[in-house]
Structure 1
């Protein structure tokens, strides 16, 4: 069954996942959701000018982003042996969670920013048991700074660097100072570019009137059934993660705590985006995929795993095709 296949790490997974994403994203090729954004962050605005909004090319880019991010996150988790077994569960859940509603079926700002945030998380997980971590701290801060040029609230995850240093490092004041260098350098570069092009008022407007990216997007009808299943999965998986912390080694326990902090900071971003549900959900996806995979990795009854995964796939497929009138 599909659960066994995903856990087996067979090469066919590298074909299966893109097929699943294409099946889930196919409705967006028929009827793209409305995206009426204003004051886009600089790099995201540039990206949209290049790929277009609602074009087939932009949708293909979105699919590639989701698949690449899923496998990248999976690779990072496997590299640090955070889950008990090496498998593709993290990648699988990431691509599914990215595709639960037609409102997400495009390269939205948060999904693009997630690429850099996942890379930043990878840098932070490296600092365990290293003597000098200034390079990793700077890299993480720079990546978070770049992510903020696509989705501004990503900048809030600089706090994740401080949390990681507190959780797994003895106090070293240089780490906290260096963690600010990345965003500062990005900010100086951005300000210089807009100043040299006489566009400072435009830059000020972007940040002073930062808008929700979920404007005009709504959840209704059967979508609540999908969300209910996700909520149940989230509660069960997160509870399982917290209960299992004491059973892990100190290293794994601390690395999982960093991911828990990632989740909490993602949720807090909801309050600095004037209640942008869609963007907050997209930001939570990274941690959500990890602790859901953690729950399924410890699941002994494979039939339960198969049933839940098939149910989730069927509900998401039905909902997405229903939303564009194909069902």
Structure 2
């Protein structure tokens, strides 16, 4: 079964099993969306990607699927390298693939897929700050990576709070680290603003077109669900709740460094949920903003499940709800 197959930290599940799972789950997306789908209030780097892939059937699907697969591998590498879960496992990669494939609207070249890649790189940089003497370069890099993520999907800018949250949890207060992280976010925006000003001469138009609507408080709402999504969302929320409870139990028996890292993932989950509120599309695909911590927490739940048969049943139920949503 899936839990037993992906539980060991072996290369075979990642090399052979994970691509098969991802490809099978993405078949509905290939059939339904052979060409890129347009979105409102998109950001410059995403617009560039759409331009490069438009007109070529299935190319955008292939790019998105490869990105999701690579992100799953990167997430799994970060988790195992930092020993966030013990023993090491491939389950976070599996859970990331499942949640990023859970609805067909995510099986397209959605801007959040690109944003998640840079959020993962930011997590990789912040995961190394514990007990280091200076972390100026890590903070600048993490801030810049979050800014680049927002160039694809603007609500991702909220993940800057994750950087500061990581500093609060893992280090004593050094005000320069917070400022450098902020500078890291600002520098890419300075370059973007300069480019728009020199190219179009209308910097105010950029602000009004790309940022104002996203920051409008009137747009802060929960995603609107269709009837067939409720079962899937309830299943995801119940699984997340069980996983968080398990995570806190594991955290209590972990060394201090691991406790800090897991607490930063809680901050990441919170910021992801906040970012969902700023997506004015109001669609369910915004759950991808919380996919990274969700994958780690649920991976830990299945890793430590005492009743293997129950864990397998829960995962099969989740997979069943995902498949059900594809065909209704």
What does residue 116 of structure 1 align with? 118
Given the superposition, is the C-alpha separation of residues 232 and 53 from structure 1 closer, same or farther in structure 2, using an over 3 Å criterion?
A: farther
- Counterparts of 1:27 and 1:199, CA distance in 2: 43
What does residue 68 of structure 1 align with? 70
Where relative contact order (Cα < 8 A, 6+ residues apart) is larger, the structure is: 1
What does residue 27 of structure 1 align with? 28
Whether the aligned pair in 2 keeps the contact of 1:145 and 1:183 (CA below 8 Å) is yes
What does residue 298 of structure 2 align with? 292
What does residue 126 of structure 1 align with? 128
- Counterparts of 2:267 and 2:154, CA distance in 1: 19
What does residue 203 of structure 1 align with? 206
What does residue 272 of structure 1 align with? 278
Count of aligned pairs between the two proteins: 320
Whether the aligned pair in 2 keeps the contact of 1:144 and 1:157 (CA below 8 Å) is yes
Question: In structure 2, which of residues 262, 266, 271 is the aligned counterpart of residue 256 of structure 1?
Answer: 262
Q: 1:79 aligned to 2:85?
A: no
Q: CA deviation at 1:300?
A: 2.1
Q: Which moved more, 1:37-46 or 1:252-261?
A: 37-46
Given the superposition, is the C-alpha separation of residues 45 and 127 from structure 1 closer, same or farther in structure 2, using an over 3 Å criterion?
A: same
Q: CA deviation at 1:188?
A: 0.7
Whether the aligned pair in 2 keeps the contact of 1:89 and 1:293 (CA below 8 Å) is yes
Deviations 1:259-283 (A, max 9, x none): 0001111112233335835354111
Question: In structure 2, which of residues 238, 243, 248 is the aligned counterpart of residue 242 of structure 1?
Answer: 248
Deviations 1:138-197 (A, max 9, x none): 111110010010111211211211111111111111101100112211111001111111
2:17 is paired with a residue whose SS is helix
- Counterparts of 1:158 and 1:276, CA distance in 2: 22
1:9 is paired with a residue whose SS is coil
1:230 is paired with a residue whose SS is helix
Q: 1:314 aligned to 2:320?
A: yes
Given the superposition, is the C-alpha separation of residues 173 and 221 from structure 1 closer, same or farther in structure 2, using an over 3 Å criterion?
A: closer
Whether the aligned pair in 2 keeps the contact of 1:73 and 1:90 (CA below 8 Å) is yes
- Counterparts of 1:25 and 1:211, CA distance in 2: 32
Normalised by the size of structure 2, how large is the TM-score? Answer: 0.91
Deviations 1:42-100 (A, max 9, x none): 10111111112893000001110111001100100101001011111000000000011
What does residue 155 of structure 1 align with? 157
- Counterparts of 1:211 and 1:56, CA distance in 2: 33
Residues 45-60 of structure 1 correspond to what in structure 2 (within 5 A)? 45-52=47-54, 55-60=57-62
In structure 2, runs of 5+ residues without a counterpart are none
